[in-house]
Amino acid sequence: MFNRRWGLMVMNDHWLLSVGKLTLAEECLSKGRDLPGLLLLVTARGSRSKLKELIPMAKEQGKSNIAFMAHFLLGDLDECIQLLLESGRMPEAAFFARTYAPSKMSDVVSLWQDDLKKINPKV
């Protein structure tokens, strides 16, 4: 949920960033629950620990795309696949596994086929 008090401060994030107040900008983005902005800032700063902190916040807000990107940037490929599966994104999980984790592909494709059988038993 967006926190209005901190969100108003986030509106000046360009100013905070332009004067080098990165820590304050990060705090405002975090408390304002501006996850896309926070993802951009912690990625630019190269902060792995802050990326790890971002994942539960994103999942709590239902922002699977932010959580996925954080996992991907951290190199947690198994977590990326798991997140896609939990989100019901079976085709994407299968293609992701084929590209980045070939050893997981047969398991993911099997789950995808089981999911398709719910829609069409002929699959």
75-83 — which CB contacts under 8 Å span 24+ positions?
Answer: 77/101, 78/104, 81/108
Tokens of 51: 């990326």
Looking at the predicted structure, is the pLDDT value of residue 15 above 80?
no
Residue with tokens 């798991």: 82
Which residues does 116 contact at the CB level (< 8 Å), separation at least 6? 90, 123
**Residue-level pLDDT at 1:** 43
The domains of the chain are located at 1-75, 77-123
Confidence of residue 17 (pLDDT cuts 50, 70, 90): low
List pLDDT tens digits, range 18-62: 556 677 777 777 778 888 888 988 898 888 999 999 999 999 999
Taking a C-beta distance cutoff of 8 angstroms, is the pair 108, 85 a contact?
yes
**Residue-level pLDDT at 48:** 93
**Rounded mean pLDDT of 93-122?**
92
What is the pTM assigned to this prediction?
0.80
